Each structure stands twice: as C-alpha cells, then as structure tokens.
C-alpha cells in the first residue's frame, strides 16, 4: 500500500463515522509497533512527530524512516509533521516526503495565526501535501515543558479560520491538554458540537492521553475524525520495558528492542478499538 495523504483518510472517517489515530513516534521500535497493530487490524492511520521532539529524534534521521515504513505498510499510512513552529523545519519535513504538516499558530493573535497558517498551507500544496491548523489553544505543550493555559475554541472564529486558511484539518480546543491529566478532563462537547456544525473540514483532537473511552466516542460522534496520541505511546513503551525487566525476560539488547515494539503495539491496538477504525483500511 503506497504512502498516502491525510485528507482522504480523514474524509473517509468523516463519511463513515470513526476517527483515524495519529500516533507520535520517536524511534524505529515505536514505528514498528504501530505499523504491526495497523496491519493486524487492517486500520488506516497517521504516524507523526512534533517539532519540539526533534532534539531527541533528529528529523533528518527519523523522517526518512517514517516515510519508508509508510511506503512499505500493507495499509494506508500518512506521515505527519505535528506542531510545526518554524517554516524551516516544515519545509524540511516536506522535502523528506511527509504527506501533511501542521502549523501551530495557536499562541498568535487570530489574524497572525490565519496569515501564517495560510502561508504554510500554500507551501504544503506546492509539495502536494495537506495542512492542519489550530484555533483556540490546547493546554500544556507537546513535550511537557510548558504549562500553557487552555483557551477553548470559538466556533465562529473556527469557521472564519477554516474559510480563510483552507486547511485540510482543524485542531480544536475543548478542554483537552497535552501530557497526562491529573484527572479526567471535562470536555466542552457543546463547543465541539457548535464548531462541527459551522466547519466543513475534519476536526482534530490533540491531547488524547487520558481521555476516557466514552468521551473519545462522543467526540467522534460530534465531529472529531483525527485523534493525536503521543504521551500514551511513550508511557506504554516505558511500562512494557519496565515490566519485561521485572519479569527477568531481557537477556540482551534485542529483548529490550522487542519490549519497546510491544509497548507501542499494545497502545496502538487499544486506541484502534476505541476509535472504531479497525477494518477500515
């Protein structure tokens, strides 16, 4: 199955009432684990990396690996550059072959966010790629280094933003936050419902780690068709390695590698079931 774009995956999800998982990865083992789960369940998906993570996983190394994995997968897989902050790194991702990019201008005034997102969308289209924007501000930061306050999306601004930027997907803030929640978040389903009624493009939920399964399903029923999973993947990989060590099953490096793959695989399987995308490849 060839490497695919994000937009056809999300359009099919929107038409059929499920969500596509967008799984953050940081190394080959996480990529292998996610792809294994996708092929086993015949699920479409997106693999992604955020700009803030490039200190640990340089784009020139992890990017080609991600693209190669998608090209060789037996199911449709898109490769996404998440929370892009700089034009330089966004262009680098596109040069490598990423099929979608996100410009995160949520910290900017509305007009500046529109202008910069529109520019990045035009650049993406030159490469034949898709673009995601964000309106409102999801809490926290992708790497947990900042305590960013949640600023819920205005449905009317979301409509204006989507029309002005012509993005292919729109991330919204409805009480969700990056990283681990101290308690289950109280999501603003009313804002999501109103936004979905005004915006034609598929909506995206960031900060998926720790959201309850029933809340995920309600979000999907109200218009969310791409859900980002990052911290849950990293936590699952760490837990799998720790458990395998405690059981005395790691006798060498390749046992450690297998435990990392298993952690990413189990996390992807869990979310595929919740998102309803199994068998949708």
Q: Which of 271, 253, 143 is nearest to 212 (CA)?
A: 271
Q: How would residue 184 be classed by pLDDT, with cut points 50, 70 and 90? A: low
pLDDT of residue 244: 96
236 Cβ contact list (under 8 Å, min separation 6) = 263, 264, 266, 267
If you average pLDDT over every residue of the chain, what do you get?
A: 92
Which residues partner with 133 through β-bridges? 170
The C-alpha atoms of residue 226 and residue 18 are separated, in whole angstroms, by 9
Q: How would residue 151 be classed by pLDDT, with cut points 50, 70 and 90? A: confident
The C-alpha atoms of residue 251 and residue 273 are separated, in whole angstroms, by 33
Rounded to two decimals, the pTM is 0.92
- CB count, 10 Å around CB of 111? 9
Q: Which residue has the higher pLDDT, 184 or 239?
A: 239
87-125 confidence digits (pLDDT tens): 999 999 999 999 999 999 988 999 999 999 999 999 999
Note if 82 is an active site residue. yes
Catalytic option among 82, 130, 168, 215: 82
Look at residue 27 and tell me whether its pLDDT is greater than 90: yes
Architecture of the 6-275 domain: Alpha-Beta Barrel (3.20)
Percent of the chain topping pLDDT 90: 85
246-276 confidence digits (pLDDT tens): 999 999 999 999 999 999 999 999 999 999 9
Q: Which of 268, 237, 214, 194 is nearest to 21 (CA)?
A: 268
Q: What's CA 249's distance to the chain center, in Å?
A: 32
48-87 confidence digits (pLDDT tens): 999 999 999 999 999 999 999 999 999 999 999 999 999 9
Mean pLDDT of 162-179: 88
Kind and range of the H or E element at 260?
helix 253-275
pLDDT of residue 152: 85
Mean pLDDT of 134-138: 80
């Amino acid at each position: 199955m060839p490497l695919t774009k994000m937009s056809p995956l999300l359009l099919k999800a929107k038409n059929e009432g499920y969500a596509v998982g967008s799984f953050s990865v940081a190394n080959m083992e996480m990529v292998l684990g996610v792809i294994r789960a996708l092929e086993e369940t015949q699920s479409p998906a997106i693999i992604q990396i955020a700009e803030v993570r490039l200190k640990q996983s340089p784009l020139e190394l992890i990017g080609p690996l991600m693209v190669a994995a998608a090209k060789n997968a037996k199911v449709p897989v898109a490769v996404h550059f998440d929370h892009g902050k700089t034009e330089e790194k966004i262009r680098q991702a596109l040069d490598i072959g990423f099929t979608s990019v996100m410009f995160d201008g949520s910290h900017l005034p509305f007009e500046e966010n529109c202008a910069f997102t529109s520019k990045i969308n035009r650049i993406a289209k030159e490469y034949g790629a898709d673009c995601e924007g964000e309106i409102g501000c999801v809490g926290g930061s992708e790497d947990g280094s900042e305590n960013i306050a949640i600023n819920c999306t205005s449905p009317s601004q979301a409509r204006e933003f989507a029309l002005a930027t012509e993005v292919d997907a729109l991330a919204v803030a409805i009480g969700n936050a990056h990283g681990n929640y101290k308690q289950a978040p109280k999501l603003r389903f009313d804002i999501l419902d109103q936004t979905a009624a005004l915006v034609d493009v598929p909506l995206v939920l960031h900060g998926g780690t720790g959201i309850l399964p029933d809340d995920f399903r309600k979000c999907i029923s109200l218009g969310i068709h791409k859900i980002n999973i990052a911290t849950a993947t990293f936590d699952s990989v760490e837990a799998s390695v720790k458990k395998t060590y405690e059981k005395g099953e790691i006798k060498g490096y390749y046992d450690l590698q297998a435990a990392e793959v298993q952690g990413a695989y189990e996390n992807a399987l869990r979310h595929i079931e919740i998102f309803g995308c199994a068998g949708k490849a």
